[in-house]
Chain A
Amino acid sequence: MVNEVCLRTLDLDRPWLLEQYQSRGGYEMLTRILKEKTPPEEIIEEVKKSGLRGRGGAGFPTGLKWSFISRNAPGQKYVVCNSDEGEPGTFKDRDILRYNPHQLVEGMIIAAYAIGATQGYNYIRGEFWEPYERFEAALKEAREAGFLGENLLGSGFDFELHSHLGGGAYVCGEETALLESIEGKKGQPRFKPPFPAHFGLYGRPTIINNTESLASIPMILKEGGPWFADIGVKNSGGSKLFSISGNLNNPGVFEIPMGTPFSELLEMAGGVKGGRKLKAVIPGGSSAPVIPGEQMMDLTMDYDAIAGAGSMLGSGAVIVLDDTNCMVKVLERMSYFYHEESCGQCTPCREGTGWLYRVISRIENGQGRQEDLDLLNDVAARISGRTICALGDAAAGPVAGMLKHFRDEFQYHIDHKKCLVGAG
């Protein structure tokens, strides 16, 4: 049950080529839809049945998102793919772009057909030059084969798709910041509502989905929504790409069913390096609160199980930490990241992320004060829920998690001006 959806062509020699993708039934679903003129409502209904939830991290049901668009409203609509993969620990969309770009293209065309859009953009982070070139090559092949352009396969449906390269800004992974960025502005998130389904790119109705979500569409429609849903578990349909990194023998990307025990994923990743003890796991990208290793070994990899442990599945980025890691140092680095990447628009985030970083940094460097632990919780609580986008929450979440589970390490740093683990 591995590599059944987005990575299903990974065993091929050069799976990114059109001919290779077509050797596994690629573009057959699109062709059938265009030939049979499948009603868009049926497509959206099938995606709803699949239980697919946004793979970028928010986990919003994809089919529901599509249904917010008024298909028959006049004027241009847009399909936008979010390949601005930037949540620390996440490196799965890079592999979809590099190894299966055509399935993403096919998924985007089907999405466009379903909502009545004739123009799409794939926002690829600027550092991803190799994935960008692979995607561009796929676009060229698809255009030459008549899958992009005017009157696709004689159906009367037009769709054109382009890449947009980012410039290095984590916040552009937030959907409205991403739209601002395509419009040629600095990537500062917009107030919502209005949501992109009503006022999106260039002020037009827009759906934005993650790379993995869109690349899953052709298989969902080919095999049926229930097939996809049944791969996974309740509330977590399908399989999922997990990017697992950290202190591991064999880190990498694994496409496995939702609900797979973490212990199995850890085994696939070769186990903890050097046979050392598993200390903690950050289960869904660096914004997800940390979970102690022992507790994690009893959990399954799905939305409900991880949420039940007080964290989140997020983008499926699993960072594994062994017992040589100082958690103060880990949190210091994470806090630096959010401080660095805050777009500066909302005061609680702009100022608060700086406070978090400076206070954690002084604890790490032996200058912490006893009141700092409460101060950290206080600052984090004052950021949470008080900002336009989720970056503030993302900065605050890890702080509470670390202080809940590893408070003794922070206390030791304050009391002894040195590290409990000995590594820091």
Chain B
Amino acid sequence: MNTIEVNNKAEIFSTEIREEIDQWIAKYPADWKQSAVMAALRIVQDANGGWLTTELMNDVAAYLNMAPIAVYEVATFYSMYELKPVGKHKICICTNVSCMINNSDRVVDHLEDRLGIKLGQTTEDGRFTLKEVECLGACGGAPMMQIGKQYYENLTPEIIDSILEGLE
């Protein structure tokens, strides 16, 4: 497989991002830099407003001495990577069984009404994206959702309103 030749890796990414990726590379055997690809994609995605461009994936490939196709495979396989722009706040709503039978439909309806978008869409001002997700492992607090790194459980329309009002 073809890798992208880069003369100076210091030209890829900011110092801060490189340091963060390097911390992950250090966790794995020296000849298994590729193990850091999931972390690297997450780090560059976070720094790019929550989504990955082809250029960024190519940069990750170059930085980790991987073939670009191998990076695309990872980025398209895992659900947490976004290949299209998303809102500043990505709201991930679980609709799996435990949440469903605890009225996750009502959570979805309320968010769709309030934000004027459907699941899978982003508000025109670019602030919010609604995403349906599979079980997030917090079924005791059903219905639940995740925004950024935070879980929100036992949701009601009132609680959702107060959460959204508390976001920047």
- Give complex CA distance A184, B32 in Å: 9
CB pair A185 B73 closer than 8 Å: yes
Interface window among A66-74, A245-253, A407-415: A245-253
Contacts of A330 in B (CB 8 A): 97, 100-101
Contacts of B137 in A (CB 8 A): 85-86, 90-91, 93-94, 125, 127-128
CB pair A169 B78 closer than 8 Å: yes
The answer, yes or no, to whether B81 is at the interface (CB within 8 Å) is: yes
Contacts of B27 in A (CB 8 A): 121, 162, 164
CB pair A333 B96 closer than 8 Å: yes
Measured CB to CB, the nearest residue on chain A to B40 is A184
- Give complex CA distance A86, B80 in Å: 14
Q: How far is the CB of B70 from chain A (nearest CB, A)?
A: 7
Measured CB to CB, the nearest residue on chain A to B71 is A184
Interface window among B1-9, B111-119, B138-146: B138-146
Contacts of B34 in A (CB 8 A): 183-185
- Give complex CA distance A341, B78 in Å: 10
CB pair A185 B70 closer than 8 Å: yes
- Give complex CA distance A181, B32 in Å: 12
The answer, yes or no, to whether A406 is at the interface (CB within 8 Å) is: no
Q: How far is the CB of B167 from chain A (nearest CB, A)?
A: 17
Measured CB to CB, the nearest residue on chain A to B80 is A168
Give the contacting residue for A88; candidates B35, B36, B134; CB below 8 A: B134
Return the CB mask of B5-43 against A: 1 if under 8 Å, else 0. 000000000000000000000010100101111110110
CB pair A89 B79 closer than 8 Å: no
Give the contacting residue for B74; candidates A94, A186, A341; CB below 8 A: A186
Return the CB mask of A228-251 against B: 1 if under 8 Å, else 0. 000000000000000111110001
Q: Which residues, 25 to 73 on B, are CB-close (under 8 Å) to A? A: 27, 29, 32, 34-39, 41-42, 64, 66, 70, 73
- Give complex CA distance A90, B136 in Å: 9
Q: How far is the CB of B43 from chain A (nearest CB, A)?
A: 11
Contacts of B146 in A (CB 8 A): 127
The answer, yes or no, to whether B84 is at the interface (CB within 8 Å) is: no
CB pair B36 A245 closer than 8 Å: no
Chain B interface residue number, banded: 35 or more
Q: Which residues, 319 to 349 on A, are CB-close (under 8 Å) to B? A: 319, 321, 325, 329-330, 333-334, 337, 340-341, 343
Contacts of A91 in B (CB 8 A): 137-140
The answer, yes or no, to whether B95 is at the interface (CB within 8 Å) is: yes
- Give complex CA distance A85, B73 in Å: 23
The answer, yes or no, to whether A167 is at the interface (CB within 8 Å) is: yes
CB pair B32 A245 closer than 8 Å: no
Contacts of B41 in A (CB 8 A): 167
Q: How far is the CB of A158 from chain B (nearest CB, A)?
A: 15
Measured CB to CB, the nearest residue on chain B to A186 is B77
Contacts of B139 in A (CB 8 A): 88-91, 243, 245-246, 251, 317, 319
CB pair A168 B96 closer than 8 Å: no
CB pair A245 B140 closer than 8 Å: yes
The answer, yes or no, to whether A187 is at the interface (CB within 8 Å) is: yes
Q: How far is the CB of A1 from chain B (nearest CB, A)?
A: 21
CB pair B97 A170 closer than 8 Å: no
- Give complex CA distance A337, B98 in Å: 13
- Give complex CA distance A307, B79 in Å: 33
The answer, yes or no, to whether A267 is at the interface (CB within 8 Å) is: no
Q: How far is the CB of A13 from chain B (nearest CB, A)?
A: 22
The answer, yes or no, to whether A60 is at the interface (CB within 8 Å) is: no
Measured CB to CB, the nearest residue on chain A to B134 is A337
The answer, yes or no, to whether B102 is at the interface (CB within 8 Å) is: yes
Measured CB to CB, the nearest residue on chain B to A341 is B134
Shortest 4 CB-CB contacts between residues of A and residues of B: A167-B78, A168-B79, A184-B34, A245-B139
Chain A residues near B (Cβ < 8 Å): 76, 85-91, 93-94, 121, 125-130, 162, 164-170, 181-187, 202, 243-247, 251-253, 282, 286, 317, 319, 321, 325, 329-330, 333-334, 337, 340-341, 343
Q: Enumerate 10 A-B pairs (CB-CB under 8 Å) in ascending A order.
A: A86-B137, A121-B27, A167-B79, A168-B79, A170-B134, A184-B66, A245-B98, A247-B102, A321-B101, A330-B100
Chain B residues near A (Cβ < 8 Å): 27, 29, 32, 34-39, 41-42, 64, 66, 70, 73-74, 77-81, 92, 95-98, 100-102, 133-142, 146, 149-151
